[in-house]
Amino acid sequence: MLAAIAALSAGCTNARISQGFTSGAVGCPRGEITIYNETASGPMGSMHAWEAECRGKHFVCSYHETSGVRCSEALAGAPDPKFPDSPKDLRARVAEFNEFEGAMSPASQDDAMMWLERNQAATDDEAVSAMIDLCDLMSHRGSKPFAARLEAIERNAANKDVRSECAEAREEAEERD
């Protein structure tokens, strides 16, 4: 626990730290928790916020050095914003996702895969760049259940750079717990 607090005070976030904090707060074993949208702020990272999924439930959690960990089950509300259709707008949305740590929500991952599947035949530079950015995002933020869909993009995409980036994303996703 001291290592977790030390890491937070250094201003960094880490899904393993958040999983440990979340486990006791929501009653799920550490290995069943998926963490995403992590942020740290405040003097020396003294405030930390994240979202967690466990056993089909969504939680919003926070840590503050003076009040400890708090998690509450998120009420059903607005779904995650969808990825825009325009490649240029998609690249801006991917940049927003890159500001957070941890996995993307399952809904966002599904939307990312649907975008890739819809556009895998594209060969224009703007769409190819957007697909490469999206595969890179899935490489860092995707989860294991999406590996098979990444493999299909890897096989079927018209552009070799997209195929290569999706292959890397698939390999990364397969290595995740």
pLDDT tops 50 at residue 11: no
Q: Is 97 found in the same domain as 57?
A: no
Indicate whether 23 pLDDT > 60: yes
Global pTM exceeds 0.85: no
Q: Do 41 and 102 share a structural domain?
A: no
pLDDT for res 5: 40
34 and 100 together in one domain: no
Is 36 found in the same domain as 58? yes
Task: Supply the range of the domain harboring residue 45.
Answer: 2-73
In this prediction, residues 9-24 reach a mean pLDDT of 59
Same domain, 16 and 61: yes
Question: pLDDT band at residue 158, thresholds of 50, 70 and 90?
Answer: very high
Are 123 and 95 found together in one domain?
yes
Last residue of a domain, one of 12, 47, 73: 73
User: Is residue 78 a part of any domain in this protein?
Assistant: no
pLDDT in tens, 36-95: 777 777 665 567 777 888 887 888 888 877 778 888 887 655 556 788 999 999 999 888
Q: Do the domain assignments include residue 122?
A: yes
Question: What is the percent of the chain with per-residue pLDDT over 90, rounded to a whole number?
Answer: 28
How many structural domains compose the chain?
Answer: 2
- For residues 21-47, average pLDDT: 74
Q: Do both 43 and 92 map to the same domain?
A: no
Whether 82 is in a domain gets the answer no
Same domain, 92 and 116: yes
Domain boundary among 30, 48, 73: 73
81 in any annotated domain:
no
Q: Which residue has the tokens 């708090």?
A: 70
Beta bridge partners of 49: 39, 62
In a domain? residue 99? yes
Reference 144, options 165, 115, 170; nearest CA is 170
Mean pLDDT of the chain: 79
Q: Are residues 113 and 141 in the same domain?
A: yes
Determine what percent of the chain is predicted with pLDDT higher than 70.
77
| 3-class SS letters over the chain | CHHHHHHHHCCCCCHHHHHHHHHHHHCCCHHHCEEEEEEEECHHHCEEEEEEEECCEEEEEEEECCCEEEEEECCCCCCCCCCCCCHHHHHHHHHHHCCCECCCCHHHHHHHHHHHHHHCCCCCHHHHHHHHHHHHHHHHHCCHHHHHHHHHHHHHCCCHHHHHHHHHHHHHHHHCC
